[in-house]
Amino acid sequence: MSSSVEAITVLSSDGDEFKITVSAAKLSKPLNWMLEDVCFSDDCDEVPTIEVNSKTLVKVIEYCEKHAPRANSGASDSDAEELKKWDIEFMKMDVKDILFHILMAANYLHMEGLYDLACQTAADLMKGMTVSQIRKIFHIKNDFSSEEQEQLRRQHPGCSFD
């Protein structure tokens, strides 16, 4: 990759173009590999497509740009606390709207930090949900027989099944 390139353009699955700095793109393993293999320069017309919709990609890039300085500077923790607070604010999003898309994008882009953050946020939101609610939100089919279900109720008296 040309060392003079500071930002690259990527396409979302909706066909929209987005700019992302090279240091931010390095947070994603696939993008990092791509940066190492492909020549990105000003006259390069190759624009990689990321199979993430535009709305989600905006948020993913926002996360990358925020975390890139610390990730690339080698481990100084002076801003760690501030970054944690930023993460909490960043994750205040509607589950149905975008959180699950972020989760899938982080998994697809191999972004460990964002993946863990999104999983922890989703797990926090699950607290207090009944079994039926969990099945509904995650599209899980109940394949237990009625006998097994009765046995589960006995095994887990504290669980809310309805």
Partner 1 sequence: MLSRQPLKKVKIECGEDQTVFDAPPPPPPAVPPQLNEDILDYLFSFLPIKEAVQVGTVSRRFKNTWHLNQMLLFGPDFARFNQKELVDVVERVFRFNRTPEIQAFCLHIDPRGIEVLINNWLGICALKRIKELELEFSQPFLLESHYLNITTLQTLKLTYCEIQMPQMLTGLKFLNILVLARLTLTENQLQTLLSNCKLLNTLDISVCFGLEVMNICVKDNNNFKTLKIAYCAGLEDLNINVPSLKSIFYRGAVIRIQFEKALPLKEAYFKFFPSRGYLLSHKVDLLVIDLYYVTVLTVTSAFIEPLAPRMRNGVYREVFFRLAKVRELQILMEGGMFCNPHDIAVFLKSCPTLETLFIDLNSYIFECGLYWKLNEKPLLDNFQYGFHRLRFVKLTGFKFAEYEIELVKVLLQKSVNLETMVFILPSDHRTLLDRPSDAIYYNQLFRSWIVSPIAKIFLYEHSNDETMAPSHQEFY
- Between 40 and 115, name the residue whose CB sits nearer to partner 1: 115
CB 15 within 8 A of CB 23: no
Q: Does 141 bind partner 1 (CB under 8 A)?
A: yes
DSSP of 95-147? IIIIIHHHHHHHHHTT-HHHHHHHHHHHHHHHTT--HHHHHHHTT------HH
Of residues 74-103, which lie at the interface with partner 1 (CB under 8 A)? Answer: 77-78, 80-81, 94-97, 100-101, 103
At residue 23, what are phi and psi to the nearest 5 degrees?
-65, -35
Minimum CB separation of residue 139 from partner 1 in Å reads 5
Tell me which of 143, 147, 154, 157 binds partner 1, using CB under 8 A.
143
57-76 burial, b for 16+ CB within 10 Å, e for fewer? bebbbebbeebbebeeeeee
Tell me which of 5, 11, 44, 104 binds partner 1, using CB under 8 A.
104
Residues at the contact surface with partner 1, assessed by CB under 8 A? 77-78, 80-81, 94-97, 100-101, 103-104, 107, 115-116, 119-120, 122-123, 126-127, 131, 134-135, 137-144, 152, 156, 158-159, 161
